[in-house]
Amino acid sequence: MGSRGGLMKQKLQAGETVIGPFVIVPSMTLIDTLGHAGVDFCIIDAEHGPISMETAADLVIAADGAGVAPIIRVGDNDERLILRALDIGSAGVEVPQINDPDDARKLVHATKYTPLGERGLSIFTRAGDYFKGGSPGHTDRQNAETVVIGHIEGKRGLDNLDEIMEVDGVDVYFLGPYDISQSLGIPGDVRNPIVEEALVEACGKARNAGKAVGSYARDVDMGRWLLGNGVQYLAYNVDATIYMEACERFMGELRA
């Protein structure tokens, strides 16, 4: 397991862009359609929405089969949550509220095996190929291929971004525009010039530090704007909303 994460890391390190939606619908079929659509990854959301870790395990298997890198967003910077997300074979994790270097170190500590961290070790998992052949090289492979994504979601994280990026082991710094808008006193107004300025400044800091940055686009216009400002890991919309808006569109056209 983890090869899709390794491929994604290679793309990011080469300066390429990867794109995929958030997933809140617990459906293997919808995950399968993402592969046919050609998306690079999907973010299985175990923070917001109904998806349990047991359901997430099925969605990870579906994503692997569809050629889509499965990333799991956990609800907290907690080593137990991160461990479970990685042990079911996800390509990586997204972790909220990385506000200072200590938060980043805690994230790396939970996602990496020794000597880089202290992730709990069981090779009798899907991530360890269920101990097939003794799973030689499991810890080194996971350390190299797991995609570690830290969410910068507020003014504290933005203010501390330079110091946060000095911590080795985080692959993508994900700028959460909605939480950032709330922390700046304009909740939900993600295209407000104040929010856009904060995002552009953070993207510039990451670019100068040679780090990959991610963010979320509500629509294609916002996605193009983010890509134009250096975002490489673009989360585009949410599966349920994408489906609803497609249905609204054809209903509006047919009833016109």
pLDDT band of residue 51 (cuts 50, 70, 90) is very high
Total number of domains in the chain: 1
Higher pLDDT, 128 or 135: 128
Q: 85: domain range?
A: 3-255
Q: What is the pLDDT of residue 134?
A: 83
Q: What is the pLDDT of residues 194-208, one digit of tens each?
A: 999 999 999 999 999
Could you tell me the CATH number of the domain that includes residue 26? 3.20.20.60
Q: What is the pLDDT of residues 60-116, one digit of tens each?
A: 999 999 999 999 999 999 999 999 999 999 999 999 999 999 999 999 999 999 999
Out of 48, 109, 138, 151, pick the active-site residue. Answer: 48
Q: What is the pLDDT of residue 2?
A: 45
* pTM value > 0.85: yes
- The answer to whether the beta carbons of residues 71 and 99 sit under 8 Å apart is no
Q: How many CA atoms lie within 13 A of 143 on its CB side?
A: 16
Q: What percent of the chain has pLDDT over 70?
A: 99
| pLDDT score of 1 more than 70 | no
Question: In whole angstroms, how far apart are CA 56 and each of 59, 77, 178, 197, 221?
Answer: 5, 18, 24, 35, 30
- The answer to whether the beta carbons of residues 53 and 59 sit under 8 Å apart is no
Rg over alpha carbons for the chain, rounded to the nearest Å, is: 18
- The answer to whether the beta carbons of residues 73 and 86 sit under 8 Å apart is no
- The answer to whether the beta carbons of residues 174 and 151 sit under 8 Å apart is yes
Annotation marks residue 109 as catalytic: no
Beta strands in the chain (DSSP E): 18-23, 41-45, 69-73, 92-95, 147-152, 172-175, 212-217, 233-238
Q: What is the pLDDT of residues 30-40, one digit of tens each?
A: 999 999 999 99
Q: Over range 18-37, report the average pLDDT.
A: 97
